[in-house]
Amino acid sequence: MTTFTASHQISIPSFIYGTAWKKELTARLVQAAVTAGFRAIDTANQPVHYNEPAVGEALRALNAEGIGREKLFLQTKFTPVHGQDHRIPYDASADLTAQVSQSFDRSLAHLGTEYVDSYLLHGPYSQRGLRAEDWEVWAALEGVYQSGRAKLIGISNVNAGQLAQLCERAAVKPMAVQNRCYASLGWDRDVRTVCREQGIVYEGFSLLTANQEILDHPAVLATANRLGTGPLQVIFRFAQQLGILPLTGTTNERHMREDLQIDRIELSEEEVSAIEGIGEE
Ligand SMILES: NC(=O)c1ccc[n+]([C@@H]2O[C@H](COP(=O)([O-])OP(=O)(O)OC[C@H]3O[C@@H](n4cnc5c(N)ncnc54)[C@H](OP(=O)(O)O)[C@@H]3O)[C@@H](O)[C@H]2O)c1
């Protein structure tokens, strides 16, 4: 378990199960993931990529099996209108504060819960800097946090400059970041640096899919060989040791168990630095 300490102490499981792109298999796969041992679930109120109501369906079934809401870490997101398809889960003509409020209320209804553990802004409104829209939406997220219905708030798909700006000017600083993590960018080094300085939890996604070219790198293979495991497990464990909270979106129950077994392996400091530097060779 990673222990997060900011305004209050929150424990976050050390691996997150991501539910994007599962469509009609979402409920079955979330149940399988929790049964395999995952205790953190990531979703979004964004029908084009996620099936949030089906996550709720899985949670009801798990509750009936004795795995209650309090045993799980639930994370969902507010997705701005440019990230939605025609199934916008709020009134897009309403002001942004109302959009967040409607989207959040629907997330709670979909998930059958009175609170989420983490609520993220899916991404800023532009790739450069923060605009008036970002500040208005962030203020709405702060309101959700202050109401106690999200235990922490954060932002996804953010660059280091935007994150630093948000930390500097926000009334409630982001407590979690969720980004795609490329080895070629030092595993998102600039953003991770801001996170470390500000005490923000850094969640990394696409650790495997964005880094296919390094899976057979000699440093990864030598580490896998020494530890008697596979290269994918090395990457996930490397990420954890570097301070990255990994997500996996596997659809395979054997892979779920393999992914969770990484807590049995430990890379040396030299192995961590060798893999950290791979993309910059
Ligand atoms: N904030 C955002 O904008 C954003 C964007 C993208 C994703 N996400 C989140 O991140 C989650 C994960 O996305 P992702 O891109 O990291 O994962 P992903 O695209 O679902 O990819 C995971 C890949 O790794 C494979 N895999 C995992 N464990 C394996 C194992 N032990 N052996 C072999 N193959 C294995 C999976 O194949 P199998 O299915 O065959 O195991 C799958 O092809 C998403 O579900 C979503 O929750 C967020």
Ligand 1 atom with the smallest distance to the CA of 43 is 47
**Nearest residue (CA) to ligand 1, atom 30:** 255
Higher per-residue confidence, 242 vs 7: 242
**211, HSE (Cβ side, Cα atoms, 13 Å):** 29
The pLDDT of residue 37: 97
**3-class state of residue 250 by DSSP:** coil
The pLDDT tens digits of the residues spanning 201-214 come to 999 999 999 999 99
Under the phi-then-psi rule, with left for phi > 0, alpha for psi from -120 to 50, and beta for the rest, what region is 13? Answer: beta
The pLDDT tens digits of the residues spanning 10-25 come to 889 999 999 999 999 9
Compute the distance from residue 33 Cα to the ligand 1 centre, in Å. 13
Q: Helices in 65-204 by DSSP H: which ranges?
A: 96-111, 132-146, 160-169, 189-198
Which letter does DSSP use for residue 117 in this model? E
> Residue 95 above 50 pLDDT?
yes
Ligand 1 atom with the smallest distance to the CA of 123 is 3
Ligand 1 atom with the smallest distance to the CA of 254 is 31
**Nearest residue (CA) to ligand 1, atom 26:** 250
**Nearest residue (CA) to ligand 1, atom 15:** 206
The pLDDT of residue 6: 47
Q: Per the structure block, which two tokens stand in for 29?
A: 């796969």
Rounded to an integer, what distance in angstroms lies between the CA atom of residue 251 and that of residue 137? 33
Rounded to an integer, what distance in angstroms lies between the CA atom of residue 231 and that of residue 83? 33
Compute the distance from residue 206 Cα to the ligand 1 centre, in Å. 6
Q: Helices in the chain by DSSP H: which ranges?
A: 26-36, 52-64, 96-111, 132-146, 160-169, 189-198, 218-227, 231-242, 253-260, 269-276
Rounded to an integer, what distance in angstroms lies between the CA atom of residue 20 and that of residue 112? 19
Per-residue pLDDT band at 8 (split at 50, 70, 90): low
Compute the distance from residue 121 Cα to the ligand 1 centre, in Å. 20
Per-residue pLDDT band at 280 (split at 50, 70, 90): confident
Global pTM reads 0.97
Q: Per the structure block, which two tokens stand in for 18?
A: 């991501």
Backbone angles phi, psi at 197, to 5 degrees: -65, -30
Rounded to an integer, what distance in angstroms lies between the CA atom of residue 233 and that of residue 208? 10
Q: Across all residues in the chain, what is the average pLDDT?
A: 96
Q: Is residue 64 a contact partner of residue 36, using CB atoms and an 8 Å limit?
A: no
